[in-house]
Amino acid sequence: SGYVEAETRADLSPKITSRITDLRVTEGSRVRKGDIIAQLDHQDLDAQIAEAQAAWAQAAADLARQQNLFQQGLAPKSTLDAAVAQEASTRARVDYIKALLDYTVLRAPFDGVVVAKRAHVGEAVSPFGSPGQGSTNGGAIVTLVDFSTLYVGVDVNESNLARIRPRQPAEIVLEAYPDRVYKGYMKQVIPSADRQKGTVKVKVAFLDPDEKILPDLSARVNFTREATDGGSNRTRVEVPKSALTVRDGKTGVFVIRNDRAIFTPVVVGVEKSSSAEIREGLVGGETLVAEAAANELVDGVRIRVKK
């Protein structure tokens, strides 16, 4: 099992500390790259830019005068150099405040959907979080997701990793819509393992996405050996019903691995008289403890396999 995640997701934060004067989106809003998300107060910066531009104009005029005097031999070069430095300094100040003014407009960095609004008009925000709100998303005003990049992140037992190949077909079932089977494929194996769980995360992409797929929905993934239409052609994994057992309220089987019986939780599908379909937990080919004695086994116990 796993969860729907997004390759392209961003918590949009301001680059300066200010107050929100206009927030043009809410949860569910669709935006295009470059659209305005929020406008921050810039009255103080307006006053600063006016003052800085006046200082720059004065410095430019002084520089022109000093250049004229220097050319006539009426002023030393040191005075001209000081005028040059002053003009450059005031010009840089103007450029800096213009950049701050640009930062008062928060724009969408990519096409996407607003999935969370974390601030409101009138609130003070900063790159480090809103005062007194204890934000865990820094100073995020909204969270934006590109729904075209959604996939399922699923944990695969490391012992089964070798059985999964690039672009291997898969079937995806969202817990919210158990009757809808999506087609997908193995997109990427994350190059890192969880030593505590003994799993590796795998990304499974959707081939037939629709508007029902939302970030953070829980999902079940079944890897198949052949392309499937989501119907009766899916490759099924079946086990003897005698291999099924319950541990701590979870149904599972004991998989033999390195001469030990490892309890592996499974999701059971259609049951027959002597066998049961496994919709999740096994990929096929595992060696199981198939006798009713499985109910007496302890997870991790060493066993002897008869050959």
One domain, residues 139 and 13: yes
One domain, residues 34 and 114: yes
Q: Is residue 61 part of a domain?
A: yes
Q: Is residue 96 part of a domain?
A: yes
Q: Is residue 74 part of a domain?
A: yes
Q: Is residue 47 part of a domain?
A: yes
pLDDT value of position 80? 95
pLDDT value of position 145? 96
One domain, residues 179 and 298: no
Q: Please report, for the domain that includes residue 242, its CATH number.
A: 2.40.420.20
One domain, residues 159 and 212: yes
Element of type H or E holding 36:
strand 36-40
pLDDT value of position 214? 96
Residues of the chain with pLDDT under 70: 129-138, 226-236, 258, 283-285, 292-295, 306-307
At 15-41, the pLDDT tens digits run 999 999 999 999 999 999 999 999 999
Out of 163, 197, 223, a domain closes at 223
Task: Name residue 278's beta-bridge partners.
Answer: 237, 268
One domain, residues 89 and 76: yes
pLDDT value of position 20? 96
pLDDT value of position 287? 80
Which amino acid belongs to residue 99? A
pLDDT value of position 134? 44
One domain, residues 97 and 51: yes
Q: Is residue 208 part of a domain?
A: yes
pLDDT value of position 136? 46
Tokens for 258?
Answer: 């390195």
Out of 200, 223, 246, a domain closes at 223
Q: Is residue 242 part of a domain?
A: yes
pLDDT value of position 282? 75
One domain, residues 214 and 249: no
One domain, residues 190 and 268: no
Q: Please report, for the domain that includes residue 135, its CATH number.
A: 2.40.50.100
One domain, residues 15 and 141: yes
pTM attached to this predicted model: 0.66
Tokens for 242?
Answer: 């005698």
One domain, residues 208 and 250: no
State how many domains the chain has: 4
Q: Is residue 1 part of a domain?
A: no
Q: Evaluate whether 142 touches 193 at the Cβ level (below 8 Å).
A: no
Question: What DSSP letter does each residue of 98-137 carry, written as one string?
Answer: HHHHHHTEEE-SSSEEEEEE---TT-EE-TT--TTS--SS
pLDDT value of position 293? 54
Q: Please report, for the domain that includes residue 82, its CATH number.
A: 1.10.287
Question: What DSSP letter does each residue of 47-102 carry, written as one string?
Answer: HHHHHHHHHHHHHHHHHHHHHHHHHTT-S-HHHHHHHHHHHHHHHHHHHHHHHHHH
One domain, residues 175 and 55: no
Q: Is residue 231 part of a domain?
A: no
At 211-237, the pLDDT tens digits run 999 999 999 998 887 544 444 444 568
Out of 223, 256, 272, a domain closes at 223
One domain, residues 164 and 201: yes
Per the structure, the complete domain to which residue 51 belongs is given by 43-103
Q: Please report, for the domain that includes residue 177, its CATH number.
A: 2.40.30.170
Contacts 24+ apart (CB under 8 A), 231-234: 231/181, 234/171, 234/181
